[in-house]
Amino acid sequence: MVPLSYYVIVSTVMFVIGLVGVLIRKNFLIILFAIELMLNAANINLVAFSHYFQTVSGQIISLFIITIAAAEAAIGLAIIIVLFRKKATTNVDEISLLKW
C-alpha cells in the first residue's frame, strides 16, 4: 500500500513547481497553466486525505475546485484576448497600463 505521505509529498512538489512557474514565467498563458498546476496539487491532497479518512467530502471539494478552475480559465482567457487586442502581447512585463 502507498502511504499517505507519498501523496502529500507529490502534491507539495507539484504546488511548488506551480509557484515557481508563476514567478519565473513572463507569458500570461503559462502563468495560468502554473495556476492550474497549483489547483491540481490541491486536488491531489484533498482526494488523498478523502481516501484515507474514508469520506467523500474531500472529493466533493475537489469537484468544486475543478469547477472554479474552469471559470477561472474562461475569465483569464477573456482577459488575455482583450489585452492582446489592445497591446498585441502576452508578456506580463509589458502589460503595465495601471502602473502609475
Partner 1 sequence: MAQLLFFLYFAGMALFSSVLTIGLRNPIYCTIALLSTFIHVAGLFVLLHAEFIAAIQIIIYAGAVLILYLFVLMLLDLKSNESFLHRQSWIALFFGLVILAEILVVLFKSPILEKTGAVAVAAAPAIGNTEAIGLSLFNEYLLPFEMVGIILLGGIIGALVLAKQPRPAAPVGGNGAHHADLPSIQPAAPVQEGTPEEVGARSGQPFDKIGSL
Site for partner 1 contains 77 (CB under 8 A): yes
- DSSP 8-class letter at 27: B
Write the single-letter amino acid at 47. Answer: V
Binding residues among 24-53 for partner 1 as defined by CB under 8 A: 24-27, 29-30, 32-34, 36-37, 40, 43-44, 47-48, 50-52
Q: For helices 28-52 and 57-87, what crossing angle results, to 10°?
A: 180
98 near partner 1, judged by CB under 8 A = no
Kindly tell me which residue out of 42, 57, 97, 98 binds partner 1, with binding defined by CB under 8 A. Answer: 57
